Amino acid sequence: MVLALNMFIDVPECDTTGHALRSAPRTGQITANTDLNLLLDALDAPLARHWRLRTGDLDAAFADALVGANLRAFTPT
């Protein structure tokens, strides 16, 4: 399996996230052909928007809903 990862996933601040995303296809959590940059953007953008605009709480319920929605979108069927 060849996955193209851009520099964003490989920067030190994203190392833990990048590692988790790179290992997720091996464990069947996401499809092997998932665009990891797209998945990272799908997780990061709502967090940044909520934080920047203060449109809602950044709490466990929000994080659970965000991760759940993304897993449903990127999980093998």
Tell me: the pLDDT tens digits for 21-64? 788 888 888 888 888 888 888 988 888 888 889 888 888 888 88
Tokens of 18: 């990048």
Residue type for position 23: S
Tokens of 58: 């950044």
> Does pTM top 0.85 for this prediction?
no
Distance (Å) of CA 1 to CA 25, 28, 31, 58, 62: 9, 13, 11, 35, 32
Contact 18, 12 (CB under 8 A): no
CB atoms within 10 A of CB 38: 11
